């Protein structure tokens, strides 16, 4: 039976040129993005500064509305932000650490960028970060995570899906426990939105951040922050800007936060990134996240099986309920094999400690899944990896 999701392949030009297995890093560009960017330049050329009044100023909210259905949010609940690191830092800046709650719970396997920011900011605000260790370098035991959340916890800022292993944290249980302890949850869902179903209403997350760069195929610069109705009432970020003001063009001397999600905006929006961000999320919505997830489970299971047949150490959960969209596995001479794969137009990435990360997406054929492992076989059998021993790693 043909895979109905393969009809989307024509929407992504790069798929005809290479085996693109790196959507966990940068999703393929939709063919219509040049048209969107042409709309941006046309608006700038034609309207000049008046383009702000013709939609540019509101774009962080209108694009947020396009992302909202992918996380189970309603229109008016999502604002775009330039990076997830900044969005998480803004959430931290909204916390009040006086009055006994002065810790932020993170995990050892969260994305380092977010941890860098929170660990630098926390002491300046009278708080400290508590890091929950990983026992196996792959996942975080949910009970240990819960045990770290106590009556001193103000904020739990953790990845929904861990970037190195694609391990899925149980967000519903985490939010229920954190709320019972009186803590606020800010989920970093960069590695979940677009490849696994995410429902902010079901989980009850107070905040959720993510980006369109990876599984949503929307390019760099299109990150987003959701705040629950309660969080929108209770919190306002100290890390703010004039877009978050009730009357930005009055240039008043003091801050008066706009109501609703608009208070999570910052300075002047990065407009071209927002034009580019539109079509990928639309295509994922059309594909249907349940279908995307079902296919991802099937193809990642196949990758795990292929890797295990060859005796490679698989750095991804075997339990499909805990496994996101990426399978990482260690092959001998992994860094060099990764370079050899790239030279053969098999686009993957490599992370020390995790190995070669392979990320099929809704546009991936089953043959491509087989091809990645088949090429690795060939590279190892022929010693082709040796040609890459001195090559500096490429950024993917």
Ligand X SMILES: Cc1ncc(COP(=O)(O)O)c(C=O)c1O
CB of 267 to ligand X, least distance (A): 16
Distance CA 254, CA 287 (A): 46
CB of 354 to ligand X, least distance (A): 12
Residue among 56, 97, 163, 362 that touches ligand X (CB under 6 A)? 163
Counting contacts by CB under 6 A, is residue 84 touching ligand X? yes
Q: Which is nearer to ligand X, 32 or 113 (CB)?
A: 113
- Number of Cβ within 10 Å of residue 378's Cβ equals 12
CB of 252 to ligand X, least distance (A): 30
Counting contacts by CB under 6 A, is residue 211 touching ligand X? yes
Counting contacts by CB under 6 A, is residue 94 touching ligand X? no
Binding range to ligand X, per CB under 6 A, among 11-19, 106-114, 281-289, 332-340:
106-114
CB of 65 to ligand X, least distance (A): 20
CB of 274 to ligand X, least distance (A): 14
Counting contacts by CB under 6 A, is residue 191 touching ligand X? yes
User: Dihedral of CA 347/349/354/360: which sign?
Assistant: negative
Distance CA 281, CA 211 (A): 10
**With contact defined as beta carbons under 8 Å apart, do 140 and 107 qualify?**
yes
Counting contacts by CB under 6 A, is residue 85 touching ligand X? yes
Convert residues 109-148 into a mask of x (bound to ligand X by CB under 6 A) and - (unbound). Answer: --x-xx----------------------------------
CB of 112 to ligand X, least distance (A): 9
Counting contacts by CB under 6 A, is residue 299 touching ligand X? no
Instruction: Write the CB contacts of 56 (distance below 8 Å, at least 6 apart in sequence).
Output: 43, 269, 271
Query: Strand order of the sheet with strand 128-132?
Result: 78-81, 223-227, 207-211, 184-188, 153-159, 103-107, 128-132
How many residues of this chain bind ligand X (CB under 6 A)? 13
Binding range to ligand X, per CB under 6 A, among 45-53, 57-65, 83-91, 179-187:
83-91
Phi-psi bin for 73: left (phi > 0), alpha (psi -120 to 50), beta?
beta
Q: Which is nearer to ligand X, 170 or 366 (CB)?
A: 170
Binding range to ligand X, per CB under 6 A, among 1-9, 187-195, 296-304, 305-313:
187-195
Binding range to ligand X, per CB under 6 A, among 4-12, 80-88, 131-139, 165-173:
80-88
CB of 107 to ligand X, least distance (A): 11
Binding range to ligand X, per CB under 6 A, among 82-90, 243-251, 320-328, 365-373:
82-90
Q: Which is nearer to ligand X, 113 or 365 (CB)?
A: 113
CB of 174 to ligand X, least distance (A): 15
CB of 70 to ligand X, least distance (A): 16
Phi-psi bin for 79: left (phi > 0), alpha (psi -120 to 50), beta?
beta
Q: Which is nearer to ligand X, 349 or 368 (CB)?
A: 349
Tokens representing 271?
């407009």
**With contact defined as beta carbons under 8 Å apart, do 143 and 174 qualify?**
no
Tokens representing 193?
């939105």
Q: Which is nearer to ligand X, 11 or 188 (CB)?
A: 188
CB of 210 to ligand X, least distance (A): 8
Residues 218-237 that bind ligand X (CB under 6 A): 223
Counting contacts by CB under 6 A, is residue 165 touching ligand X? no
CB of 111 to ligand X, least distance (A): 3
Distance CA 152, CA 301 (A): 40
Distance CA 244, CA 258 (A): 6
Residue among 19, 83, 107, 240 that touches ligand X (CB under 6 A)? 83
Chain residues binding ligand X by CB under 6 A are 83-85, 111, 113-114, 159, 163, 188, 190-191, 211, 223
């Amino acid at each position: 039976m043909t895979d109905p999701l393969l009809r989307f392949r024509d929407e992504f030009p790069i798929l005809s040129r290479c085996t693109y297995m790196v959507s966990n890093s940068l999703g393929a560009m939709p063919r219509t993005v040049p048209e969107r960017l042409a709309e941006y330049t046309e608006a700038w050329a034609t309207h000049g500064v008046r383009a702000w009044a013709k939609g540019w100023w509101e774009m962080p909210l209108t694009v947020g509305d396009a992302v909202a259905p992918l996380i189970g949010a309603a229109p008016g609940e999502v604002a775009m932000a330039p990076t997830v690191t900044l969005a998480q830092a803004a959430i931290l800046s909204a916390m009040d650490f006086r009055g006994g709650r002065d810790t932020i719970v993170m995990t050892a396997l969260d994305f380092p960028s977010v941890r860098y920011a929170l660990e630098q900011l926390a002491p300046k605000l009278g708080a400290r970060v508590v890091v929950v260790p990983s026992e196996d370098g792959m996942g975080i035991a949910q009970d240990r995570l819960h045990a770290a959340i106590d009556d001193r916890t103000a904020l739990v800022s953790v990845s929904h899906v861990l970037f190195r292993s694609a391990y899925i944290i149980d967000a519903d249980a985490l939010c229920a426990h954190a709320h019972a302890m009186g803590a606020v949850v800010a989920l970093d869902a960069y590695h979940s939105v677009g490849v696994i179903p995410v429902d902010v209403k079901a989980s009850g997350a107070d905040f959720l951040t993510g980006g369109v760069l990876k599984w949503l195929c929307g390019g760099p610069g299109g990150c987003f922050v959701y705040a629950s109705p309660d969080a929108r009432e209770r919190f306002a970020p100290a890390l703010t800007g004039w877009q978050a003001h009730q009357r930005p063009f009055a240039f008043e001397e003091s801050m008066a936060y706009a109501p609703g999600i608009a208070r999570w905006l910052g300075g002047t929006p990065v407009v071209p990134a927002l034009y580019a961000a539109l079509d990928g999320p639309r295509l994922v919505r059309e594909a249907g996240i349940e279908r995307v997830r079902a296919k991802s489970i099937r193809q990642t299971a196949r990758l795990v099986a292929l890797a295990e047949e060859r005796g490679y150490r698989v750095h991804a959960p075997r339990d499909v309920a805990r496994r996101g969209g990426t399978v990482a596995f260690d092959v001998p001479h992994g860094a060099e094999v990764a370079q050899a794969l790239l030279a053969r137009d098999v686009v993957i990435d490599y992370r020390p400690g995790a190995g070669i990360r392979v990320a099929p997406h809704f546009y991936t054929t089953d043959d491509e899944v087989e091809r990645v492992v088949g090429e690795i076989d060939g590279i190892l059998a022929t010693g082709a990896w040796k040609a890459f021993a001195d090559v500096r790693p490429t950024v993917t």
